Amino acid sequence: MHVYPAKDELPHEPGAHEYWQESFVLFFGDLRQSVGGYLRLGHEPNFNGGQVATWTNIWSPAGTFHKAVDLPLRPEDRLENGFGSGDDTLRYEFDGRIRWTIHEEDLQGVLTVVEDGPAIDGYAGGDGKHLGEFVTNHVDTGVRVVGTLTVKGTTYEVDAYGIRDHGWGIRKWDDMRALRWTVAAFDTRDHFIAVSFILADNAHTTFGWVVRGDEVIKTKDLDIIAFINSDGATNRGGITRMNLPTGEILEARFEPIFPSMGSWIHGVMGFDTACVVRWGDKVGFGCFETVNNLQGGKEHPAVFDRATVADGWYPGVLPLDYGKRREPAA
């Protein structure tokens, strides 16, 4: 396991390769209020003349917003301490803490990561050098998120758990044939990451780790079972089973609380589903991500089952209640 220092939360100097990219992601859910989101900013300075992937997904009882677009990358989108979105609607900044700012019509928010575990990179342990050619530097860790979201005039004081990730280096998306990324956070001291890749050269690797307090436990092996909808692409959660060197076999069940969110990357489509995650007597929040591209095709399908794919607003989600509210951190 490699742990990155705080300075690596700032933007890195871009490489010269066509497929060099850097991206920041935040996936969070406040289960008590049925409020959450999936945010991503990805800068590709050398691809297609320079572009930024801007993904803003927010769900709440007041309304649900989905946006996943590629926009021209402007000089002003590279901030001294973060990234812009190509259209000034989403911003990532790091000033000792990670902060996201959203500014869309009928949607505004400021969200801060107030608790965070070590910036762990477990990908190098997946398949050594081979996987490193696809994912060169990558952080995944459990977080706590606080802040405000105002959705169609309704303001929520967010107090959530989630997962953030941050990757930089060469990444040739076209080489991806299948991906499963299942992550869950029960608090910032208790979360797990589970990953499975199939790449264009038929390399297949699975790996993961569990964080318990100050301990990081790498999985011996794991099995990820996705529940795929009738469209053959979108997912409605699934099951992740992990075999740990401690002798434990852990089974986490991902139950959707929001339709699968679709996003195109270089013609490859992935789906992320926000879920309640049940792991023994623990109840947390997580994401079940799937990419199915075994034939390497790039046709954009038009029919989807239980998913948000077209950009725009959707009906709000129903309230959930998963326990007493905690006081937001100072």
Structure tokens given for 55: 């993904």
Q: Is 87 left (phi over 0), alpha (psi -120 to 50) or beta?
A: alpha
Structure tokens given for 108: 């505004």
Which residue from 99, 195, 178 is spatially nearest to 138, judged by alpha carbons? 195
Strands 51-60 and 63-72: antiparallel
Selected residue with higher pLDDT from 40 and 269: 40
pLDDT for 181-223, tens place per residue? Answer: 999 999 878 999 999 988 888 778 889 999 998 899 999 999 9
pLDDT for 79-90, tens place per residue? Answer: 999 999 999 999
pLDDT at residue 127 in the model: 46
Q: From CA 126, how far away is CA 219, in angstroms rounded?
A: 10
Strands 260-265 and 268-279: antiparallel
The answer to whether residue 2 scores a pLDDT higher than 60 is yes
pTM for the whole structure: 0.92
Q: Which residues, 6+ apart, have CB-to-CB distance to 129 below 8 Å?
A: none
Tell whether the torsion through CA atoms of 71, 73, 76 and 77 is positive or negative.
positive
Burial class of residue 54, CB neighbours in 10 A (0-12, 13-18, 19+): buried
The answer to whether residue 330 scores a pLDDT higher than 70 is no
Domain parsing of the chain, residue ranges: 21-304
Q: From CA 174, how far away is CA 154, in angstroms rounded?
A: 40
pLDDT at residue 51 in the model: 98
By three-state DSSP, how is residue 256 classified? Answer: strand
The answer to whether residue 36 scores a pLDDT higher than 70 is yes
pLDDT at residue 133 in the model: 62
How many helices and strands (H and E) does the chain possess?
1, 25
Which residue from 147, 150, 149, 152 is spatially nearest to 63, judged by alpha carbons? 152
pLDDT at residue 116 in the model: 72
Buried b (16+ CB within 10 A) or exposed e, 199-220: beeeeebbbbbbbeeeeebebe
Express as a percent the part of the chain with pLDDT over 90.
69
Tell whether the torsion through CA atoms of 259, 42, 182 and 26 is positive or negative.
negative
Q: From CA 81, how far away is CA 71, in angstroms rounded?
A: 20
Q: Which residue is associated with the tokens 């979201």?
A: 149
Pick the CATH number of 21-304 from 3.90.1300.10, 1.10.3450.40, 3.10.180.10, 2.40.370.10: 2.40.370.10
HSE-up (13 A, CA, CB side) for residue 36? 31
What type of residue is 174? D
pLDDT at residue 125 in the model: 53
Q: What is the mean pLDDT of residues 70-83?
A: 97
